Amino acid sequence: LLVLAGAAQAGILNARHPAPSPDGSVIAFSYMGDIWIVPSTGGSADRLTVHEAYDDDPIWSPDGSSIAFASDRQGNSDVYVVDSGGGEPVQVTLHSSWDGPQAWLGDGSELLILSRRDTSDYRLYSIPASGGPARTVVADDAFNASVSPDGRWLAFVTGRTSWWRKHYRGSASRDIWIRPIEGGVSTRLVGYEGDDDRPMWGADGRTIY
């Protein structure tokens, strides 16, 4: 613990998966297998989870009170939720397949997760934030999803190219699609023949980065 405290004071290097809070005042991130938070203006980082397992991919709830994250505490990746002020994390998914958080839905009562629980492909599911049965949201191969600020639209990625395969051009390239969160027709946004990935909604709800 003293070594970790010293590392935090000296400066954290190689922090990953940055996630700004809804009001933009705090950033959650993963570092050395745990979830940390730090003011957006800079300063001392506080460690939110303490466990020998690997915790990563923090996602804030809409009201900023909770953070969902992935952890392999039970041997494979599951989704957990912890109070943003600290406390004991609650396990949300219990499936033997790999599960990871993507976004919070609506008022924060549901989580959008990525899983291979029904197929060899990644699919998007919703699950109650307190745990419970999962519901399929996108049955096709889909990942790296982002929900619009008004909760009405879902942007996601399809494709089979590995992200590290540089300069790939072909039918397996990653493309960004959009569709209503409640279901309906999916529309491809970009016709680029290479890879497009990791869509992020702008605050106006009309722009995707």
Residue-wise pLDDT for 26-56, tens only, equals: 999 999 999 999 999 999 999 999 999 999 9
In 3D space, the residue among 133, 112, 131, 132 whose CA is nearest the CA of residue 123 turns out to be 112
Report the Cα–Cα distance between both ends of the chain, in Å, rounded: 39
Is the pLDDT confidence value at 3 over 60?
no
Alpha-carbon distance of 133 to 182, in angstroms, equals 18
Alpha-carbon distance of 207 to 201, in angstroms, equals 6
Alpha-carbon distance of 62 to 85, in angstroms, equals 15
Establish how many alpha carbons lie within 13 A of residue 18's alpha carbon, considering only the half-sphere containing its beta carbon: 14
The amino acid that residue 66 corresponds to is S
What is the pLDDT averaged over residues 140-152? 92
Number of H helices, E strands in the chain: 1, 16
**168-190 confidence digits (pLDDT tens):** 998 889 999 999 998 889 999 98
pTM: predicted TM-score of the whole model, two decimal places:
0.88
**99-112 confidence digits (pLDDT tens):** 999 999 988 999 99
Would you tell me how many other CB atoms lie within 10 Å of the CB of residue 5?
10
